[in-house]
Amino acid sequence: MGRAEIAKQVAQFGTSLPGLASLGSGHFRNLVVGAGPAGYAVVSTLLDGGSQPTLWVDPEFQSGRLARYLEVPSNTKTKLFARFATTPFCGSDGAALDPYEGEDPEKGCQLQAAQQMVVRLSEAVHQEHGDKVIMRRGLVDCLDWQHDSWRIDHRQLSADRAFLATGSAPQDTDVLPGVPVIPLDEALIPSKLPGCVTPKDTVCVVGSSHSAILVLMNLMSMENGPKVVNLFRSPLKYAKYCPDGTIILDNTGLKGMAADWAREKLETGFYEKSGRLQRINTNKQDPGPATKHCTKVVTATGFKRNALPDISMDGRPVKDIHHDRHSGAIIPGKLYGFGIAFPEEVIDPEFGHKENNIGLWKFMRYTREALPAQKLCAMPH
């Protein structure tokens, strides 16, 4: 099947599912909120662990945030996406790997392939396990623990335990008050930029993360692109692949195309020499004079959790939501969080600092370690 056909099929899948309101009443063993890569990882883990029935809710079933980043190059090698797709249960659906046909497993690819893969895997759950996993479009607004289960949205719907895989979104900070903001999600997409900036603009890009470098790459690659001022605090860092398979700065270092571009164009001062780019380390230099001329700003300094459903225990709101960064537990046995909003914590093997472990394969591996089959069976009904 060609790329265009896959894209069409993938787009149709979400809309084909019924809404949550169509489900009058029912009790489920599990509720999974969110159908990004992390939601899929949880659902497939529950299926493999024999835990059913599961109610799985998402507004679109289009793979979560990946659907916004179709044109973005991955920082992950293609083989790790394939590993995500071929973890036990999912191996039955070979079609999920179609989007990677012809890709080098040792190189990155466009995130569109990952997006299509996640939707196809979700579709396979629907087709092959529709009796065990009930998929409904919608938003879960509130969860109230009553007696021995979660009451969902004040409806006649309940579940023994809930898994939040609700994702995160770019954090907007008002770095240059009064200066129009280009949302990070727009700046990451090359085809959207011509509608956001003109050659007369001077765009301030804040940050030196993977996303910030992709934005710089997009802006500098534009024909008749704007001038750019890049404010940063930490120097460029690169992930290092060791022969034993470990990766140093796995989550905070640049990888893939962004790393190659930064080495070639930023470390050499290529664009700075031509006067199109000014990079300012704000720890060492006052950015004031350079930012005075900025007409647009993009901040790429981090992501924050999406709004969660209102959570209460016997009617009393649970205000502070904290998760255990090694088990995913928010309320052990009752409520868990996974994915980018509730990440695993790992220690960098060389520098010893803590990092949030983010990426599709990491979500799958962590979920399966945190929810082994024995634990799933032992959890009280």
Binding site for ligand FAD (CB under 6 A): 33-39, 57-59, 64-66, 69, 72, 74-76, 111, 139-140, 165-167, 188, 211, 306, 309, 339-341, 358-360
Nearer to ligand FAD, 306 or 327 (CB): 306
Nearest approach, Cβ of residue 50 and ligand FAD (Å): 23
Nearest approach, Cβ of residue 358 and ligand FAD (Å): 5
Question: Tokens representing 126?
Answer: 């629907």
Nearest approach, Cβ of residue 359 and ligand FAD (Å): 3
Please name which of 229, 222, 216 lies closest in space to residue 265, comparing C-alpha atoms: 216
Nearer to ligand FAD, 72 or 227 (CB): 72
Nearest approach, Cβ of residue 265 and ligand FAD (Å): 18
Nearer to ligand FAD, 66 or 220 (CB): 66
Nearest approach, Cβ of residue 16 and ligand FAD (Å): 16
Nearest approach, Cβ of residue 327 and ligand FAD (Å): 17
Q: How far apart are CA 62 and CA 33, in angstroms?
A: 14
Nearer to ligand FAD, 187 or 294 (CB): 187
Nearer to ligand FAD, 57 or 220 (CB): 57
Please name which of 175, 231, 222, 177 lies closest in space to residue 200, comparing C-alpha atoms: 222
Nearer to ligand FAD, 75 or 278 (CB): 75
* Residues in CB range of 109: below 8 A, 6 or more apart: 73, 74, 78, 81, 100, 103
Q: How far apart are CA 340 and CA 307, in angstroms?
A: 13
Nearer to ligand FAD, 292 or 322 (CB): 322
Nearer to ligand FAD, 51 or 75 (CB): 75
Nearest approach, Cβ of residue 60 and ligand FAD (Å): 6
Q: How far apart are CA 51 and CA 71, in angstroms?
A: 36
Nearer to ligand FAD, 60 or 98 (CB): 60
Q: How far apart are CA 110 and CA 96, in angstroms?
A: 15
Nearest approach, Cβ of residue 210 and ligand FAD (Å): 6
Nearest approach, Cβ of residue 275 and ligand FAD (Å): 28
Q: Are strands 142-146 and 310-313 parallel, antiparallel or unpaired?
A: parallel
Say whether the peptide bond before residue 53 is cis (omega within 30 degrees of 0): yes
